[in-house]
Amino acid sequence: MNRSFAFFVIMPGEHTFNSGSVLLQPVADLVGMSVDKINFVGCMALSIPLAIIYNRVLGKASERTRQVYPLVIGLAYCWFCFGSAIKHLLANCLISYAIMYVAPAKNMHWLVFIFSMSYLTWVHLFRWMYITEYTIDITGPIMVCVQKMTTLAFSLHDGTGRKEEELSPLQKREAIKRVPGLIPYLSYIFHFQSILTGPLSFYTDYINLTRGTHVTKNENGEVPDPYSEAWTKLGKALIFMLVIAFVQPSFPISGLDRTDMNPVAWMVLFWFTFMLQRIPYYFAWYFADGIYNLSGFGFNGYDKETGEAKWDLATNVLAWKVESAQSLKETLDAWNVGTMGWFRRVAFDRAPKKYRTLSTYLLSAWWHGIFMGYYLTFLGGAILTLGGKGFRRSLRWRFLSSPSLKFAYDVVTFIGTKMVLAYVAYPFVALHWAPSIAMYKRLYFIGHILALFCAAVLPVILPPPREDKKKNGETQVDENRNAKKIE
């Protein structure tokens, strides 16, 4: 009895982050990888046939069957990869569910938000205390589940605690009129398609999948097939996996400590090293997107020009757009799209207008963890975003008079964006205050200084056109409209 009780109340510790199965340890030893990564890749690979079964075999099964099947597999994945640490996932989601039931609709969403985020922070704290190098552990699934629970709570608040005329079109579409049953709720939280890596899907979309109402027929009365799109995404994930295996190990972050390189060569190394840091995310998100599509999830209407079905509802990253972006905003629009949608729903749209950007970046840092590197990255990101807006408003219109000037502007902003992205992401990877500040000192805090200059001084020296002032006041509205395209 005592041991059973201790299983549930024991504080997080090192065991929380290394209690997954060691069944595949011989495979890990054979390929020279840690067993947590082998478990992760093994579950993702197993998801391919399981997703096909869900769509092909269970496509016309009952709604309850289509809810229980992904739930059971998702729980099995969590137990296999994280062992007894699954108790933290269950505790967080079940207590949040109880809050949705008993709390007044007026305050329920904030209570769920505060509790779930506090529980996540508690686990992050112990991860900070015990983990010295990156591992695939329970914090990732908890982060995804916090997104799901909070968006569900906010949708419940919109559906039960607010008048319809107070809601935006997006909030009306996602509003929920009553607390879901326990099985649909757990299925949404734990379904195998996203429990390990995300991306976030929204409750109304997921329930439409389980009900078989997620796809509309085309003009010919045919149901579109997701498999071509799914296999394309999985093929891209395979390419990224090969890059991770054969290229990334040759360019560790520690290589940036070199002092024997000329500045230009070092800056190229700086850019390339951080481009490689994004590859594991590309692998995980393209793979997860492909699994979603194999399951039949992801339909997002038809292209107005071609009439082809779009399967990007669960798309979390557009790698080419990230790598070819000419501003930090363009980069963020194509990066971690599901999380950006979450930030919008629980922070940006809910905060006072003048605090929207700051509240979004602060939530991002809090959600990621308590390492100081996260706060340096996201607060720096807020400063650099403001600097980028000032730069664009003051300078871009001056280079539109000829193709050659426009080309020069595009080249400069492309290179600048790549360097800014590496600059602001360094603390995120370094995690700690000391190495992050040491790198910024080495670079003379050039990114922060230029961003502040572009935000505060450049518009005075080179004023933007008068009509831009009015447009700038409408920027947030335009961003909200554009955000709908990528949700």
Q: What is the rounded CA–CA span in Å between residue 20 and residue 356?
A: 39
Q: Among this protein's residues, is 368 annotated catalytic?
A: yes
CA 29 to chain centre: 31
388-425 b/e (C-beta count within 10 Å ≥ 16 → b): bbbbbbbbbeebeeeeeeeeebeeebeebbbbbbbbbb
Copy the structure tokens of residue 135: 């591992």
137: DSSP letter: -
Active-site residue, from 368, 432, 480, 482: 368
Q: What is the rounded CA–CA span in Å between residue 434 and residue 82?
A: 31
C-alpha separations of 257 from 253, 424, 430 in Å: 8, 17, 12
Q: Among this protein's residues, is 336 annotated catalytic?
A: yes
Active-site residue, from 109, 336, 472, 482: 336
Q: Return the closest-CA partner of residue 296 out of 201, 242, 227, 391.
A: 227
Residue with tokens 């099995």, as numbered in its chain: 76
Q: What contacts 12, CB < 8 A, 6 or more positions away?
A: 85, 88, 122, 123, 126, 127
Please answer whether residues 417 and 325 qualify as being in contact, where contact means their C-beta atoms are separated by less than 8 angstroms.
yes
Q: Return the closest-CA partner of residue 114 out of 125, 104, 124, 99.
A: 99
Name the H helices within 247-262. none
Name the H helices within 259-314. 263-294
164: DSSP letter: G
Q: Return the closest-CA partner of residue 177 out of 64, 100, 66.
A: 100
Copy the structure tokens of residue 1: 């009895």
Please, what's the largest Cα pairwise distance for the chain?
79
Name the H helices within 355-474. 356-368, 372-395, 403-430, 433-442, 446-452, 458-461, 466-473
Please answer whether residues 16 and 141 qualify as being in contact, where contact means their C-beta atoms are separated by less than 8 angstroms.
no
Q: What is the rounded CA–CA span in Å between residue 473 and residue 111?
A: 33
**Whole-number CA gyration radius for the chain:** 23
Active site residues: 336, 368
